Amino acid sequence: MWAFAWTLATLWAAPAPADQRIAVLEMVVEGGADPVIGRQLTNRLAEALAARPKTKVIAPDDVRALLEKEVQRQLLGCSDERCLAEIGGALGADVLVQGRVSKIDSGYAISLALVDATKADSLGRVNETWQGEPLGLLDLVGPMIERAFEPNVPHVGAIEVVGAPDGAPIYVDDQIRGTTPAGQMGQIPSGARRVRVVAEDYLPFERWVVVQSGKVTSIPVTLEPTPSAPIYATWWFWTGAAVVVAGAAVGTVALLSSGEDPANTGVNVMLNAERSFTEGR
């Protein structure tokens, strides 16, 4: 009994686990990406990490204040684990996080690297490709942090397509996931997803969205009708025109055979043929 009470007292007196100290470096901007996007992503990264439980964030502003300018000049350009660990050690951090964003073709590539600042070991890297609006990159930060710090946990959400006509196939990353009205389509990995809706007689709808873990992403769809082809591009126009031309030719031959003057009556033949074609459409 006394041993049990002593054990409980020991557990109650045990200090709470210390907060994990995470140092966030400035986002590296490459490939012609706007530096403003890099700064916004850095701030969002620090905010999202600070919202995690038992986490103490050393923000980029604090990093700049703690590191001497010369050390900063030598170390902040590095990318390997040992170099990054030196920065983390100088800051007293447990984990160091560095992100990169690069412009590629019509979109962006973004990555996060985690380094154990005490052992100089890589804790993982997460990569995403995004071809939506640049501001959508900010929404990607949350899912990327979850996957980076919890690699063994399934992070999935749901997508709901609203407004498309019934029977339209819904594609997520080029794989069909349902047909409208499909309701909520679950078990979709969090992060950047390309959604396409294809309906007969409508132009395809496409949008890049960010699926959040445990949440439903609602996608309003407005489909534009397929533009109608001009009258001269339709098969029946040329078929009818061929009939008119053939009829006019037959009429002319008949007139010549009968001895009548085509100059006086040919116009009437063509007008009658054209009227026949117009009324028969």
Q: Give the span between the Cα atoms of 254 and 276, in whole angstroms.
A: 18
Indicate whether 145 and 161 sit together in one domain: no
Q: What is the rounded end-to-end Cα distance, in angstroms, of the chain? A: 102
The predicted structure's pLDDT at residue 233: 47
130 and 167, same domain (yes or no): no
Q: Name the domain boundary from 149, 171, 193.
A: 149
pLDDT at 187: 94
Alpha carbon distance 23, 75 (integer Å) = 14
Q: Is residue 110 part of a domain?
A: yes
pLDDT at 77: 61
Residues 93 and 125 in one domain: yes
Instruction: Count how many domains the chain has.
Output: 3
Range of the domain at 37: 17-149
- What's the predicted TM-score (pTM) here? 0.71
We report the CATH number of the domain holding residue 101 as 3.40.50.10610
* d(C-alpha 27, C-alpha 35), whole Å: 9
Do 182 and 132 share a structural domain?
Answer: no
Q: Is residue 73 part of a domain?
A: yes
Q: Give DSSP secondary structure letters for 127-162.
A: EEEE-S-TTHHHHHHHHHHHHHH-TTS--EEEEEEE
Q: Assess whether 141 and 162 both reside in one domain.
A: no
Are 145 and 36 in a shared domain?
A: yes
What one-character-per-residue DSSP string does the chain give?
-HHHHHHHHHHHHSPPPPPEEEEEPPPEEETT--HHHHHHHHHHHHHHHHTSTTEEEE-HHHHHHHS-HHHHHHHTT--SHHHHHHHHHHHT-SEEEEEEEEEETTEEEEEEEEEETTTTEEEEEEEEEE-S-TTHHHHHHHHHHHHHH-TTS--EEEEEEESPPTT-EEEETTEEEEESS--EEEEEESEEEEEEE--TTBPPEEEEEEEPTTSEEEEE--PPBPPPPPGGGSHHHHHHHHHHHHHHHHHHHHHHHHT--HHHHHHHHHHHHHHHHHHT-
Token pair, residue 186, equals 């679950």
**Could you give the dihedral angle defined by the CA atoms of residues 253, 255, 260 and 263, in that order, rounded to the nearest 10 degrees?**
-70
Task: Check whether residue 206 and residue 116 sit in a common domain.
Answer: no
Do residues 140 and 28 share a domain?
Answer: yes
* 96 and 67 in a common domain: yes
Tokens of 207: 């949008």
C-alpha closest to that of 137 among 111, 155, 157: 111
Q: What is the pLDDT of residues 36-72, one digit of tens each?
A: 999 999 999 999 999 999 999 998 887 777 666 545 5
Tokens of residue 278, six digits: 């117009």
Residues 49 and 143 occupy one common structural domain? yes
Q: Is residue 188 part of a domain?
A: yes
Pick out the chain residues at pLDDT < 70: 1-17, 66-81, 84, 229-281
**Residue found by looking up tokens 């052992």 in the block:** 119
**Burial environment of residue 220 by CB neighbours within 10 A (0 to 12, 13 to 18, 19 or more):** exposed
